[in-house]
Amino acid sequence: MFRHCVAGIDFSAGWDRVQARLRHMMALFGIRELTLVYADEPHRRAHKDTTGRTNRQLHLEQVAADLGRELGIAVHGHFVSGFAVPSILDTAKKKEADLIVVANRSHSRSREFFMGNVALNLARMSKLPLLIVPSDLGTVEDDAPLLLATDNSPASARARTCFAELLGADRKGLVMVVSNPDHQVAFEEVQAGEAVIASNANLDTRTVVGDPVEEICEAANDVKTPLIVLGKRGTNPIAELPLGSTAEGICRHATNPVLLVPS
């Protein structure tokens, strides 16, 4: 499904958790090739840290080689001079990747988060599906139900299709339907949304009646889902995230991996 994955790497504890989670999700996502992108940002180069730069390049090559042997797939290291977000997006485009992966470092409402907002900006700008793995990953079980958060709007159609493909015929799933005041769902759209996942008999559907961020994150924790799937509206850096503030809140506060799927 996502044969070639591009992952942002910074050698932090956050990356270690991304790497550990990727090991468990390789089969689910169908990943057969992985490119690790390390962005050597300007503040490092300003100090003319030639030795440190060389060491980081060598470290990246070693991580890629070790991970390739462990996973049994092609793993490449890509060392780039530049800022993280454009470097990751440019690499993904050039490599014709199917998926981008990044770590989320913090869930604080009062501090900068998402690797200095790297993950948030990727969420707003990426035209590819984006997997966000929280550094403070909660308890997840690989065989637990996958969770889809949707408002059944046209913008969430691709996320529903992706969710159905990830479920396959036998896996359990949980669908949480969020009310969207900007889009009153027509009966035909509800039918279309249900039809995408109707082939799976192990499906639980719930309507969110309270705070959607709180309810979805709580449900994800309760079922120990290895993945929350969300739709994404646009790619403008200042555009709303999918489901508006709901999706941004989920990305900020979920302790389960989140897959954002562009419309």
- The mean per-residue pLDDT over the stretch 209-221 comes to 92
Domain ranges within the chain, ordered by starting residue: 4-134, 146-262
Kindly report the pTM of this predicted structure: 0.86
* pLDDT bracket for residue 166 (50, 70, 90): very high
Quote the pLDDT of residue 192. Answer: 47
Quote the pLDDT of residue 68. Answer: 94
4-134 and 146-262 in the same fold: yes
- The mean per-residue pLDDT over the stretch 103-127 comes to 66
- Identify which has the larger pLDDT, 3 or 234: 3
* pLDDT bracket for residue 188 (50, 70, 90): very low
pLDDT digits (tens, 9 = 90+) for 37-86: 999 887 655 555 677 888 999 999 999 999 999 999 999 999 999 999 99
- Identify which has the larger pLDDT, 246 or 71: 71
146-262 fold: Rossmann fold (3.40.50)
Given a cut of 60, is residue 106 above it in pLDDT? no
4-134 fold: Rossmann fold (3.40.50)
Given a cut of 50, is residue 238 above it in pLDDT? no
Quote the pLDDT of residue 44. Answer: 58
DSSP letters for the chain: ---EEEEE--SSHHHHHHHHHHHHHHHHHT--EEEEEEEE-HHHHTTT-HHHHHHHHHHHHHHHHHHHHHHTSEEEEEEEES-HHHHHHHHHHHTT-SEEEEEE----SSS--HHHHHHHHHHHH-SS-EEEEETT-----TTSPEEEEE---GGGHHHHHHHHHHHTTT--EEEEEPP-TT----HHHHHHHHHHHTT-SSEEEEE--S-HHHHHHHHHHHHT-S-EEEEE----TTSPPTTTHHHHHHHHH-SS-EEEEE-
